[in-house]
Structure 1
Amino acid sequence: MNCIKSDILQAIATHPTIIIHRHIHPDFDAVCSQIALKKTLQQSFPEKNIFAVGCDAENLEWIGSMDVIQDHEYRDALVIVCDTAEMKRISDQRFQLGATLVKIDHHSDGENYGDLTCVDPSYSSVCEMLADLFFSYPESFNLTIEAAAALYAGIMGDTGMLKNGMAGERTMRVVSQIKKFSFKPERIHRLMKKNGTDLSKWKQLVAYRAQVTEQGIASLRVTKEMLENLGLDSYEAAPLIHALVAYKPARIWVLFIEEDGKIRVRIRSKTAPVNEIAKKFGGGGHKLAAGALLSSWEEADQVVEDLGEKRMR
């Protein structure tokens, strides 16, 4: 993290009320990080008022439900925003009413906001970040079975069940620690498939639209018009990278999504480092999973070309 873990603990210790937010159109990591943090803090600091807020997501209610609170609860409160790169995407804009704002995120291309900003793209997910925090301070954080299950589901969601290149050695170590708690991983896998990780719905789109170069670079371009036809926004289309990896044999996979005059790119790889290419275009990320924000489709062509040249070297 680019903030010290003890800073988060200090912020938690000094506020009587803690309100946890995440982004709109939530995915597993967003909701799971909220619920895991809420349950852990409730168990660890029973004297505090702990809330998780935001719009409901019906397909994720099995993870945990959101609280409905009044404006006065924000007075003197610590607000923690999980897994949200930009303020405009925070679900429930009352986050601004709190006394102290903390951002915990693993996206490298977001907005710098908050009194305390903890952003580290070396983590697969915010759930991994939180698990690492909890295990680093066992004397302060009492992790419950329910919280451990949520952390597990969030990590599984952002790593494509540990198969999309986001999971590193630390991820596997954290997962191993989490699985010591007596929840049932197979139940979580079943519920995740039922409620959002079934990639088969994207199979036809990937089959018809994706292209694979001679160098083994598979790419899929999702235009603004395609988003409208699919009824998605650019963030909701992000899981397409998992479908691309699942259904297009290649060495490197690249997803381009058009948004607000820019092109967001997500890159995944089996073995070849791709973060240096992402950095070349103003982005960054993990060795085998990176991203950037491009200015044009011409730059998208260049990304594919550069990745191909990297494979040939």
Structure 2
Amino acid sequence: MDYIASELVEELYKLVDSSDKIIIHRHVRPDPDAIGSQLGLKKLIQNKYPQKTVLAAGSTTKGLAWLGEMDKVSEDDYQDALVIIVDTANQPRIDGKHYNKGKSLVKIDHHPDVDDFGDLQLIYPQASSVSEIITLISVYLSDRLPMTNAAARLLYAGIVADTGRFKYDATSLYTFRAASFLKEFEFDAFEINDRFELMTLDQAKFHAYVYQHLTITDDQVAYLIITRENLSEFNISEEQTDSVINLASTLEGVLSWVTFVEGDGANTRYRGRLRSKGPAINEIASRHDGGGHPKASGANAYSEAELVEIIAEMGEANRVYLQEKQEEQA
């Protein structure tokens, strides 16, 4: 059964089996794992229980519409509904309203547990993705929640994206087992990988801009500030800037990196995506209205001074990490 606690999966199954209406949420500004696990779980439940109402709640994201669309969900739909939240560490990041108005609330996540919510919680930080968790749940339940071609496609996409095509640290033996199991089903894996690599010509030109304007500090922090003017100049959306998040990871002399994107509105706000090859950066993110994984987190800066603070704190984390490595090797 790997790392999945069978007693918790049995509790989840009982809730699904006894509920006529199930609403599945995920986090705001979703990535492929959020969409893949949400819609993948929906497909699994619909296949096993075609008589049940199963809804995917949240805003539709243009860039990931090829994976699937969200449903229209009203406040009345939550009456006597089982609500499942996937891939969301804390309640402020849940996309969609009224999630707490159902009869039961379940949390399925792979982020470090920072917000204790839900009547039932299946939290596995060792998992590469929630798509991996949903896959292993299906493996365990077997004929009680069997895998389908449509669900396999969605869950495979979530795993591939959250592991960076199986190269990130969170990729484990269980990740490969889950992916191998999914590949037994009929879907176009090439199409999924190709989708993640495709970009517009404007995005390609923006990549060149990023390499030209990245700054690398003496403490091995690479940072980039993307303004609203930059987005307009290159005709790209904030969502499309996701493609440049890890460009700095290929540069020599970079241990951690952060990309800031200026938000809309009169008030100063920068959305920061923090990444690392070693130092834990999730505590830094949590101090700046964010959170996430030790090596991949999100934060917010509400002034240029706070933006500078985040870069400085990442530099300090790098110095501590390198010092500890030296001591281990001494």
Could you say which TM-score interval applies, normalised by the shorter chain? 0.7 to 0.9
Out of 135, 152, 155, the residue aligned to residue 151 of structure 1 is: 155
Q: Determine whether 1:285 maps to 2:288.
A: no
State the match for 1:102 in structure 2: 106
Check the 8 A contact 2:256/2:314 in 1, yes or no: no
Out of 175, 178, 182, the residue aligned to residue 178 of structure 1 is: 182
1:58–1:261: structure 2 CA closer, same or farther, 3 Å change rule? Answer: closer
Check the 8 A contact 2:256/2:318 in 1, yes or no: no
Task: Please give the alpha-carbon distance, in whole angstroms, between the structure 2 residues aligned to 1:123 and 1:200.
Answer: 32
* TM-score, normalisation: structure 2: 0.74
1:244–1:167: structure 2 CA closer, same or farther, 3 Å change rule? Answer: farther
Specify the code of the residue in structure 2 equivalent to 1:6.
E
Specify the code of the residue in structure 1 equivalent to 2:279.
V
* TM-score, normalisation: structure 1: 0.78
Residue 213 (structure 1) shift: 5.4
Question: Which runs of structure 2 are paired with 1:198-277 in the superposition (5 Å)?
Answer: 200=204, 202-212=206-216, 217-222=220-225, 226=227, 230=231, 240-246=244-250, 248-250=251-253, 252-255=255-258, 257=260, 266-269=274-277, 273-275=278-280
Check the 8 A contact 1:165/1:268 in 2, yes or no: no
Residue 190 (structure 1) shift: 2.1
1:284–1:95: structure 2 CA closer, same or farther, 3 Å change rule? Answer: closer
Check the 8 A contact 1:36/1:150 in 2, yes or no: yes
Check the 8 A contact 1:17/1:48 in 2, yes or no: yes
Report the secondary structure of 1:122's partner residue. Answer: coil
State the match for 1:306 in structure 2: 317
CA offsets, 1:199-242, max 9 Å, x none? 74652353134334567x3421547xx36854899988666432
Task: Please give the alpha-carbon distance, in whole angstroms, between the structure 2 residues aligned to 1:134 and 1:70.
Answer: 29
State the match for 1:138 in structure 2: 142
Specify the code of the residue in structure 1 equivalent to 2:126.
S
State the match for 1:35 in structure 2: 39
Residue 138 (structure 1) shift: 1.5
Specify the code of the residue in structure 1 equivalent to 2:317.
D
How many aligned positions are there?
A: 302
Report the secondary structure of 1:137's partner residue. Answer: helix
Gaps of 5+ in 2: none
Task: Please give the alpha-carbon distance, in whole angstroms, between the structure 2 residues aligned to 1:278 and 1:61.
Answer: 29
Task: Please give the alpha-carbon distance, in whole angstroms, between the structure 1 residues aligned to 2:215 and 2:296.
Answer: 19
Task: Please give the alpha-carbon distance, in whole angstroms, between the structure 2 residues aligned to 1:47 and 1:146.
Answer: 18
State the match for 2:9 in structure 1: 5
State the match for 1:83 in structure 2: 87
State the match for 2:28 in structure 1: 24
| Identical-pair percentage | 28
Residue 149 (structure 1) shift: 0.6
Out of 118, 124, 144, the residue aligned to residue 120 of structure 1 is: 124
CA offsets, 1:135-156, max 9 Å, x none? 2222422110110010111112
Residue 69 (structure 1) shift: 4.2
| Higher Rg | 2
1:54–1:98: structure 2 CA closer, same or farther, 3 Å change rule? Answer: same
Instruction: Report the RMSD for the aligned CA atoms in angstroms.
Output: 3.7
Q: Which fold has the larger relative contact order, with Cα–Cα distance below 8 Å and residues 6 or more apart in sequence?
A: 1
Q: Determine whether 1:56 maps to 2:60.
A: yes
